[in-house]
Chains A and B, each alone.
Chain A
């Protein structure tokens, strides 16, 4: 269908754009992996030059980008200088952990936000509504990093959860179930931080979109024909409010991914976050680019899934194949 094709094309263009910008910015960024070697008198400039050319770093930007794209199409994202290993498998082993963290956080965030937002909107000005508004504006006004560090400090002090890594040192000896429980306990803190921050944003959006539909002329008209309050909410309001909420799903995934980079570093969760940070600090060029591309891929993929879900809920898109928004 027309709509799907256009969304797919847009996703591709975004990926191309992100990768091109990545190359441009890393080129403009000061410093290189070999800076430290240059300071070492035992390594001759010739050796460094040879190394540079063996990684292809002596080529002009356009050539490097073309080579990278060509390789990336075959799932080869280049070679990490620091790890002395291909980038793609390295990233994938970490990306799995990031995906585990963000999908758990995403699912729970939405399981909380939707009922809470709908409840607040349908009893506007009530106790739940005021509590939600107040609590969410408090959480939003505090930077994510501060929340993460603060909660980490509490957890460390009270010794309620293990901190750092994603499983205990002795986990190999555990049974399958105990292993799962161990991972869950390590996951709890970073996931909680992400859920707290993201829920405070999403619940407000859900509330706002339900409120908007509640005030629509067609809801007033349905009320004028004698529909009950609950029927109005569930059959007439929520299906319409689902459209902006689903668009928000992609947006919330973006928020969670960028949030997870910080939270992973703070909590020592072995995901993409610490890897990208480390790679950036050591100027491990292709690892940085690959890491950013992985994040972008998740984000764009998430948005694409949200776009496809819209087809299911919005007949204006489904029937006409046009973008109704």
Chain B
């Protein structure tokens, strides 16, 4: 191991085995490291396997899903950790902010209790101490009047407020790693930047490493330290935020950035990518070669024959494309 990473994912794959039809390999051989206090962005189109990757990191996948590979967290191999120890780890050491807070908050439990439940699961606090901690957490995620929010049910809160509750839940036990799955996906532009600001503040104050998932480059710009670009279940390029935005190497990243720059100028809600010409491949049936090949304007003969290995065109940059080596 080069540096002491917080988490080190190596050759991680997840296959959904549906009852009927082909098994779907939603995550295919992903390797990624996150250092303590680092913010890493995962950028990729809808359906490329981002949420599956997030779930796999917590070993929290639906019953039909099989995962292989290695996940080393603080020297602990999560892939062969028993369920009881995983439970103790989830929410305490690694916490997930799920994709849609409208669906991920229990409708019959008040916001305060929802946050308190996380504390209760991991820390030996009295009810009064817990209540106090929850109020502090509510202030921390930006509520002026925690009393009111404490006893509100999720359906009484706005989308932005619900997202803050989900963040407070995830932050309750001061985890080392926060996995935020599209934390701004359902919000408008102002709320998006507020949530991003909040996450930045959390990293500053608590040194929490954050893996932030988004389909929108504008969200990651200026926030994440490094960005991994994902395409059809694989990471195709990794680099620092400045490098990815300033000088993208992979043709897919380049296409993304062209679209993004034209969208950043026209302000407004960015909910989905306008399609890059062509469609991303069906994860059920994937061909041998480079997965971006059918949509790539720079494809070569070799591209359809085998998958491009990882090249290191510059130190600290990874790219999977035959333009950078043979």
Q: Which residues of A contact B (CB under 8 A)?
A: 216-228, 231, 235-236, 239-240, 243, 313-316, 319-320
Which candidate, B116-124, B228-236, B240-248, is the interface stretch facing chain A? B116-124
> Is B307 interfacial (CB-CB < 8 Å)?
no
Chain B positions within 8 Å of A320 at CB level: 155
Identify which of B109, B118, B153 contacts A225 (C-beta below 8 A): B118
> Is B211 interfacial (CB-CB < 8 Å)?
no
Subset of 10 A-B contacts with CB under 8 Å = A221-B105, A222-B117, A223-B60, A224-B91, A225-B121, A228-B87, A231-B120, A240-B106, A315-B153, A316-B153
Q: Which residue of B lies closest to A216 (CB)?
A: B103
A225/B170 contact (C-beta < 8 A), A235-B117, A316-B155, A319-B156 known? yes
Q: Give the docked Cα–Cα distance between A235 and B121 (Å).
A: 12
Chain B positions within 8 Å of A217 at CB level: 98, 100, 103-104
Q: Give the docked Cα–Cα distance between A19 and B156 (Å).
A: 42
Identify which of A218, A224, A243 contacts B105 (C-beta below 8 A): A218
Starting from the known contacts A224-B95, A240-B106, 4 additional A-B residue pairs (CB-CB under 8 Å) come to A220-B104, A223-B60, A225-B118, A240-B108
How many A-B residue pairs have C-beta atoms within 8 angstroms? Tell me.
82
Instruction: State whether B90 touches A239 (Cβ < 8 A).
Output: no
Interface size class of B (residues with CB under 8 A): 20 to 34
Q: How distant is A224 from chain B, measured CB to nearest CB, in Å?
A: 4
Q: Which residue of B lies closest to A239 (CB)?
A: B108
Identify which of A216, A218, A226 contacts B90 (C-beta below 8 A): A226
Q: Which residue of B lies closest to A227 (CB)?
A: B121
Q: How distant is A323 from chain B, measured CB to nearest CB, in Å?
A: 13
Chain B positions within 8 Å of A231 at CB level: 117, 120-121
A220/B87 contact (C-beta < 8 A), A240-B106, A319-B156 known? no
Instruction: State whether B95 touches A316 (Cβ < 8 A).
Output: no
Identify which of A220, A224, A226, A315 contacts B108 (C-beta below 8 A): A315
Chain B positions within 8 Å of A218 at CB level: 103-107
Q: How distant is A211 from chain B, measured CB to nearest CB, in Å?
A: 13
Q: Give the docked Cα–Cα distance between A216 and B60 (Å).
A: 14
Q: Give the docked Cα–Cα distance between A222 and B96 (Å).
A: 10
Q: Which residue of A lies closest to B117 (CB)?
A: A227
Q: Which residue of A lies closest to B172 (CB)?
A: A225
Q: How distant is B122 from chain A, measured CB to nearest CB, in Å?
A: 6
Instruction: State whether A224 touches B58 (Cβ < 8 A).
Output: yes
A220/B107 contact (C-beta < 8 A), A225-B95, A226-B87 known? no
Instruction: State whether A222 touches B60 (Cβ < 8 A).
Output: no
Chain A positions within 8 Å of B108 at CB level: 239-240, 243, 313-316
Q: How distant is B170 from chain A, measured CB to nearest CB, in Å?
A: 7
> Is B92 interfacial (CB-CB < 8 Å)?
yes
In the A-B complex, the 10 residue pairs with the smallest Cβ-Cβ separation, listed nearest first, are: A226-B91, A225-B91, A221-B104, A217-B103, A226-B90, A224-B96, A218-B106, A221-B98, A226-B121, A315-B153
Q: Give the docked Cα–Cα distance between A218 and B90 (Å).
A: 15
Instruction: State whether A239 touches B109 (Cβ < 8 A).
Output: yes
Instruction: State whether A226 touches B153 (Cβ < 8 A).
Output: no
Q: Which residue of B lies closest to A313 (CB)?
A: B108
Q: Which residue of B lies closest to A316 (CB)?
A: B155
Q: How distant is B249 from chain A, measured CB to nearest CB, in Å?
A: 34
Q: How distant is B89 from chain A, measured CB to nearest CB, in Å?
A: 7
Q: Give the docked Cα–Cα distance between A314 and B169 (Å).
A: 22
Q: Which residue of A lies closest to B122 (CB)?
A: A226
> Is B276 interfacial (CB-CB < 8 Å)?
no
Q: Which residue of A lies closest to B96 (CB)?
A: A224
> Is B88 interfacial (CB-CB < 8 Å)?
yes
Q: Give the docked Cα–Cα distance between A316 and B105 (Å).
A: 14
Q: Give the docked Cα–Cα distance between A320 and B88 (Å).
A: 37
Chain B positions within 8 Å of A319 at CB level: 153, 156
Q: Which residue of A lies closest to B86 (CB)?
A: A226
Q: Give the docked Cα–Cα distance between A222 and B169 (Å).
A: 9
Q: Give the docked Cα–Cα distance between A228 and B88 (Å).
A: 9
Instruction: State whether A236 touches B60 (Cβ < 8 A).
Output: no
Q: Which residue of B lies closest to A124 (CB)?
A: B63
Chain B positions within 8 Å of A243 at CB level: 108
Q: Give the docked Cα–Cα distance between A219 and B103 (Å).
A: 10
Q: Which residue of B lies closest to A229 (CB)?
A: B87
Q: Give the docked Cα–Cα distance between A220 and B108 (Å).
A: 15
Q: Which residue of B lies closest to A221 (CB)?
A: B104
A240/B107 contact (C-beta < 8 A), A222-B117, A224-B60, A226-B88 known? yes
Q: Give the docked Cα–Cα distance between A55 and B103 (Å).
A: 63
Chain A positions within 8 Å of B89 at CB level: 226
Q: Give the docked Cα–Cα distance between A216 and B105 (Å).
A: 10
B118-156 at interface with A (beta carbon < 8 Å): 118, 120-122, 153, 155-156
B164-197 at interface with A (beta carbon < 8 Å): 166, 169-170
B44-91 at interface with A (beta carbon < 8 Å): 58, 60, 87-91
Q: Which residue of B lies closest to A226 (CB)?
A: B91
Q: How distant is A233 from chain B, measured CB to nearest CB, in Å?
A: 13
Q: Give the docked Cα–Cα distance between A243 and B98 (Å).
A: 25
Instruction: State whether B106 touches A224 (Cβ < 8 A).
Output: no
A221/B107 contact (C-beta < 8 A), A226-B89, A235-B117 known? no
Instruction: State whether B118 touches A226 (Cβ < 8 A).
Output: yes
Q: Give the docked Cα–Cα distance between A12 and B95 (Å).
A: 52
Q: Which residue of A lies closest to B114 (CB)?
A: A222
Q: Which residue of B lies closest to A236 (CB)?
A: B106
Instruction: State whether A226 touches B103 (Cβ < 8 A).
Output: no
Identify which of A221, A236, A239 contacts B96 (C-beta below 8 A): A221
Chain B positions within 8 Å of A219 at CB level: 106
